[in-house]
Structure 1
Amino acid sequence: MSHGIRTDTHGADGETRKERVNREMMELLNELRVALPGVQFLLAFLLIVPFQETIDRTTDFQRDVYFVALAASAVATALLIAPAAQHRVLFRQHDKEALLHRSSRSAFAGLLALAVAMTAAVLLVLDVLFSRTLAWASAGVLAALLAWWWVAVPFWIRSHDRQDDSEDAGVPA
């Protein structure tokens, strides 16, 4: 499905729309290859926590934070794997551009869920090992760092970019 847009025209860089979409899809899948091992490792770690001998000494707060970390890491894993799964299921359906847009949104949402999971995991571990005050302070710094580098800076750069990003598959699309 071409959505009424010619796919054989060349852009300023000599790349056809179809070539650009293919390249952007490969770039997105390569980016996900970086994020996936980390989120999968975090999920695996969180899945074994309840089977530790010290689990009976956790507070209600720690169990609540654990739930948030586990749920967010499971959601992040699902969202970050979704582009590859959809790509495989929709292979040769001739709607790669729509797939690219959905995959980009899924990847961004997955990274946001990963940020929540990482922050909650840090909050949990530091609360168990040190103090609630240090845990909240450290988790707050991590959350601010992730919000700054993963969201604020890229969107600020994007909003100040002089290039026409009407054909960009980034978020939000």
Structure 2
Amino acid sequence: MDDARLDDHRRSTPTRDETEAERADRNYGEQLQEMRVAQTGVQLLLGFQLTIAFTQPFGSLSASQKDLYLVSIAASTVAMLCLMAPIVIHRFLFGRGQKPRLVRATHVLTLVGMVALAFAVTGSVTLAAWVAAGGSVAAWFAGITAGGALIMWLVLPTALRTGRRPTGTVR
């Protein structure tokens, strides 16, 4: 970053009067709030997915549909593990003054978990559409779901992150 852009960044970035430990506490608290929604969603999704194999119609799925089902369960499992891991890590690091490390690990695990969740949701929606209306409809559902996740979970946040920060006025 050149000097002019760095100065611009410093002026537009709000500063807080907090220690590194206070910042880590605040950041971890914010991360936990963000993860609560995702954790609940992935747990519900995985629970519903797991029950499907025990239903009567499951036996009539094609091999490709069963493969999609298994991939979706695997993605949900990865998402669930990643989104629950920060809690376990916190227990291991509790009271050891390593909250900044926990915050960094939670950041990475949340991102990986959300990518896995995007695959899980896309796979589950695609399978449901495939069974309900056939392959061509399922392809549309897959594209819309994956595209929506890509736009809302990657493109939009990236655009907001790299765009100019607001000056404090609402437009």
Gaps of 5+ in 2: 1-13, 167-171
Identity %: 35
Of 86, 89, 93, 1:86 maps to: 89
Q: Deviations over 1:96-139 (max 9, x none)?
A: 11110011100111011001000000010010011111111111
Q: Structure 1: which 5+ runs fail to align?
A: 1-10, 164-173
Pairs within 5 Å for 1:1-173: 12-161=15-164
* Alignment TM-score, normalising by the size of structure 1: 0.84
Rounded to whole Å, the distance in 1 between the matches of 2:83 and 2:16 is 30
Aligned residues: 153
Counterpart-to-counterpart distance in 1, 2:71 and 2:99? 34
Query: For 1:26 and 1:125, how far apart are their aligned partners in 2?
Result: 36
Q: Return the structure number with greater helix share.
A: 2
- Deviation of 1:32 (Å): 0.8
How far did 1:94 drift?
1.0
Which whole-Å CA distance do the structure 2 matches of 1:17 and 1:162 have between them?
24
TM-score (normalised: structure 2): 0.85
Post-superposition shift, 1:22? Answer: 0.6
Q: Which residue of 2 aligns with 1:4?
A: none
SS where residue 143 of structure 1 aligns?
A: helix
Letter in 2 for 1:30: Q
